[in-house]
Amino acid sequence: MTSSRAARLAGILLLPVLGLTACTGDDGLDTAVGDLTTALEGHALDGIEIAGGDAGEFSELVEPLAGQPVTVEAGEIAREGGSATVPLSWAWSIDDREWTYETTATLTDGDDAWILEWDPSLVADGLEAGERIELTREHPERAEILGADDEVLVTERPVTRYGLDKSWIDEDQVASSAEAIAEAVGIDPDEFAARAEQMGELAFVEAIVLRPEGAAERVADGYAEIPGANAVDDTMLLAPTREFARDLLGSVGEATAEIIEASEGEIREGDQVGLSGVQAAYDEELRGTPAITISAVSGEGDDAERRDLISWDAEEADPLVTTLDVDMQNRADAVLADVAGTSALVAIRPSSGEILAASDGPASEIPNAATAGQYAPGSTFKVATALALLRAGAAPGDVVTCAATVTVDGYAFHNYDDYPAGATGDITLREAIANSCNTALIGQRGILDDDALAEAARSLGLGVEADLGIPAFLGSVPEAEGETEFAADMIGQGRVLASPLAMATAAASVSAGSTVTPHLIAGEEPEAEAPAVALAADEAETLRDLMRAVVTEGSATFLSGLEPAVGAKTGTAEYGEPDDDGNLPVHGWMIGTQGDLAVAVFVDDAESGSETAGPILEAFLR
């Protein structure tokens, strides 16, 4: 092993210089010993007078264990003339493994202080001059991630690393070969050629890593004939397909400097760790416990001699079991495959809160839009508005007015462009929800208390604080800052925000008849604040009837032929800046329930909820 590789794989244990302060009273030996043990536990003995060694040697010895806690207890001091010996009991916690042993410290009485007589055996029993201590870790295979019914999701799968092997060609061929390889695998030729030029003369410069199916589609014929082109077979921890819950499950790679620093010594340079999604959130559980060996080493490189002082076996982690349903996740990925821009779909089992699918469309511009995106939910939020109105005494048969516009403090609210003309004027609240009349609901704002809307939302699982262990946002319904904002909040605009996960949770709560808290990890019940007012069975039943009316007589009649019967709510939310014609871009939403299933669909740049998100929901449910 080269010295540079040893530096990467091992920590070198040396003790900083020990210095004992001047002693007082009773010649200060007890104080000196107490100072010594305290300093040893603090991993820093700078400024202490030491005989037979120097501060640099000691500092070098202890540095690799600086992040590992240790307690050192002194035994009974034995004195003989101007010298004393004291047994020291060491107890290290090495990545939560205990390493205990005893050494002996010798001190001599100097003019002003007791002086520590340096001997390497003070640090570890039997350590000799010229030896150093190395700590090596060998990580076990990272644990798999499973789905529902223990179906394997993330495991080692075959890949091929395509790139340029500079040892196979002359230096003057590097640029041309790199450009040809880049073009053959569809990456930037200039960037790859520049990177290849910078690498060592024997380096393998990786261009891209592909699954077998991806390579068949992407790698051009004739790749193997390019001078220096190499293809190295390997394996990587991967999901069943490139798209499969990609953002949610996350990725694994070499630890970044930030991760290493935050780990306080637990993670070292070169370690493979979770970088995003579930892989990052459950990194410690998935990494398992590494095998650790602490050795006394003398010499360098291939001539180094080592003897083990202590070692511990690796402990593999158990697979992490999620609630994802493979067929349903694949279906979600498929229905979003051709959607332009950011899109997402989340499916939940209402009876249990299990997240069955969470998919971000391949063109999505932010990661985890499905579970952590923050968007105005538009009229899908009207399930919460309806609940608030029911609690204020309204009934589905009450007559409300669906006007062309309603003005609040000078701001004119209107219905969306495709609102049916036949559902205007005096209509029932049921019809207003079914057809999504903005003006009718805003017209009922006077019967609601200030916090009624937010409390109704929390009863449906929206806007609650919960730690789901994954990137997640369950919505926000802040207190309105004025009458206009409160009116906008009632139709899912204003400052109301939700993720697709949050709206799927609201639909799931309606279906289940109680507040649902979603979860992804099997057997883990997330901690979530309970709503001040629980969702009552009769309230949920009324909301289910209203969502069913959306399908039978309202804005989602295209779902009426599906079996089992579907309940739904469409949503269109304006956002951003208007175009040259004064039209604002819109988010398209759709939530639906079918049997023991609740689904939310989101499309960032849509025509409307029914036109853009609706067909995606229909395709998923079919």
Q: pLDDT tens-digit profile of 550-559?
A: 999 999 999 9
Residues 349 and 279 in one domain: no
Residues 16 and 164 in one domain: no
This prediction has a pTM of 0.82
Categorize the per-residue pLDDT at 268 as very low, low, confident or very high, splitting at 50, 70 and 90.
confident
The pLDDT score that the predictor gives to residue 17 is 40
The pLDDT score that the predictor gives to residue 416 is 85
Residues 353 and 479 in one domain: yes
The pLDDT score that the predictor gives to residue 26 is 58
**Structural tokens at position 433:** 């929800």
Average pLDDT, integer, range 363-377: 94
Instruction: Say how far apart CA 430 and CA 436 lie, in whole Å.
Output: 10
pLDDT above 60 (res 479): yes
Residue 315 lies in a domain: no
The pLDDT score that the predictor gives to residue 5 is 37
Residues 460 and 505 in one domain: yes
pLDDT above 70 (res 56): no
Average pLDDT, integer, range 169-178: 95
Average pLDDT, integer, range 278-302: 91
Residue 314 lies in a domain: no
Pairing status of strand 10-13 against strand 132-138: antiparallel
Beta bridge mates, 157? 236
Average pLDDT, integer, range 233-237: 92
Average pLDDT, integer, range 270-282: 92
DSSP string of 202-222?
A: T-EEEEEEE-HHHHHHHSPTT
Average pLDDT, integer, range 270-283: 92
The pLDDT score that the predictor gives to residue 52 is 83
Share of the chain above pLDDT 90, in %: 70
Categorize the per-residue pLDDT at 579 as very low, low, confident or very high, splitting at 50, 70 and 90.
confident
Long-range Cβ contact pairs of 478-485 (< 8 A, separation 24 or more): 478/454, 479/450, 479/451, 479/454, 480/450, 482/409, 483/408, 483/409, 483/445, 484/408, 484/409, 484/410, 484/411
Contact 507, 381 (CB under 8 A): no
Of 53-57, 82-86, 189-193, which gets the smallest average pLDDT?
Answer: 53-57
345/131: higher pLDDT: 345
Instruction: Say how far apart CA 234 and CA 127 lie, in whole Å.
Output: 41
pLDDT above 90 (res 186): yes
Q: For the segment 581-613, what is each residue's pLDDT rounded down to a tens digit?
A: 778 888 999 999 999 999 999 999 888 889 999
Among 79, 104, 138, the domain boundary falls at 138
Among 119, 138, 157, the domain boundary falls at 138
CB atoms inside a 10 Å sphere around CB 490:
26
pLDDT above 70 (res 24): no
Residue 56 lies in a domain: yes
Average pLDDT, integer, range 247-256: 91
The pLDDT score that the predictor gives to residue 47 is 65
CATH of the domain at 193: 3.90.1310
Share of the chain above pLDDT 70, in %: 95
Residues 388 and 403 in one domain: yes
pLDDT above 80 (res 55): no
The number of angstroms, rounded, from the C-alpha of 111 to the middle of its chain's C-alpha atoms is 60
CATH of the domain at 41: 3.10.450
Place of tokens 């200060």: 28
The pLDDT score that the predictor gives to residue 14 is 39
Pairing status of strand 405-408 against strand 411-414: antiparallel
pLDDT mean across residues, the chain: 90
Residue 236 lies in a domain: yes
Residues 123 and 167 in one domain: no
Q: For the segment 513-561, what is each residue's pLDDT rounded down to a tens digit?
A: 999 999 999 988 888 888 889 999 999 999 999 999 999 999 999 999 9
The total number of structural domains that make up the chain: 3
Pairing status of strand 354-360 against strand 343-349: antiparallel
The three-point CA angle 557-340-215 to 5° equals 125
Residue 302 lies in a domain: no
Domain of 617 in residue numbering reads as 331-621
